[in-house]
Amino acid sequence: MALVNLKQLVSAAFHHGYAVGSFNVVNMETLQAILQVAEEHHSPVILSVAEAHFPFVDLEEFSPILLRAARKAKVPVALHLDHGQSLPAIVTALRNGFTSVMFDGSTLPLEENIAKTREITRMAHAVDVSVEAELGHVTGGEDDTSPGVADPSLFTDPQEAELFVAETEVDALAVAVGSVHGIYQGTPELDIERLAAIRDLTGVPLVLHGGSGLSNDDFRQAIAAGIAKINVYTDMSQAAMARIRTVDTLPQRLGFPEFMLLVREAIQEAVAEKMQIFGSVGQYN
């Protein structure tokens, strides 16, 4: 199956009531783990590289590897720039074969977010690349280890979302409805009514960032209310770190390659669990 446009994946998910997982890639182990599970479970998948991870991932050096792996995969794969906040990062992704970019202007005033998103959408659509944007603001960061809570004052306004989508023509919209990036302090409560209102007013696939701490039922309700793409990183990272901490208890001594295999196995388990919950398993045969 060839590398595909993200719009193709999330539109199918949006109309058929499941979500596609967008899993952050930070090295070869994460790349191999994600694709192996996607193929075994016949699930479409999104490989994401976050601008926040550029210190660990040289996008120009790593892109040919990502592209080759995606093109060889037996399931549909989209290659996505996650939380692009700078024009150079977005241009680099476009020049290196990504099929989707996210522009995160969520901290900007509404008018400025619309204007910048609109220009990026025009540029990306000219080369058949999908665009995700964010309205409202999901707090926390990709590698934030300090627990956080959602701020209702930053939640996405449904009427603003309707205007935003109409003005920018984005293919997917990331919304703030009660989740946070990183670890959630306490028990998150998603505003499902708000989410459904955004779906009804915009008509575009919606994206959930910051799923850590959410229950299986939370995910299912969110998908029923319009979520078609769910970002996953913290759960993968925590699974890998938990497996690393077991190394000292193993009877055999491990070399570095064996050590990395343990990490890959932990990530595979986390990815497989999420694909089952999101309903993407078996969506491509």
**Residue 95 above 60 pLDDT?**
yes
Determine the straight-line distance between the first and last CA of the chain, rounded to whole angstroms: 11
Closest listed residue to residue 232, CA positions, set 214, 213, 209, 216: 209
Instruction: Give 1's DSSP letter.
Output: -
pLDDT at 187: 66
User: What are the CB-based long-range contacts (under 8 Å, 24+) for 34-40?
Assistant: 34/267, 34/271, 35/69, 35/70, 35/73, 35/77, 36/268, 37/268, 37/271, 37/272, 37/275, 38/73, 38/75, 38/77, 38/271, 38/275, 39/73, 39/74, 39/75, 40/272
The per-residue pLDDT for range 225-284, each reduced to its tens digit, is 999 999 999 899 999 998 888 876 665 667 778 778 889 999 999 999 999 999 999 998
Helices 87-95 and 110-125, interaxial angle, to 10°? 20
Residues assigned a catalytic role? 82
Closest listed residue to residue 82, CA positions, set 52, 106, 40: 52
The per-residue pLDDT for range 121-165, each reduced to its tens digit, is 999 999 999 999 999 877 655 554 544 455 677 789 999 999 999
**Residue 115 above 90 pLDDT?**
yes
pLDDT at 144: 47
Instruction: Give the predicted TM-score (pTM) of the model.
Output: 0.92
DSSP letter string, 36-89: HHHHHTT--EEEEEEGGGTTT--HHHHHHHHHHHHHH-SS-EEEEEEEE-SHHH
**Residue 199 above 80 pLDDT?**
yes
Q: Is the CA virtual torsion 275, 277, 283, 285 positive or negative?
A: positive
* Cβ-contact 11, 21 below 8 angstroms: no
The per-residue pLDDT for range 219-239, each reduced to its tens digit, is 999 999 999 999 999 899 999
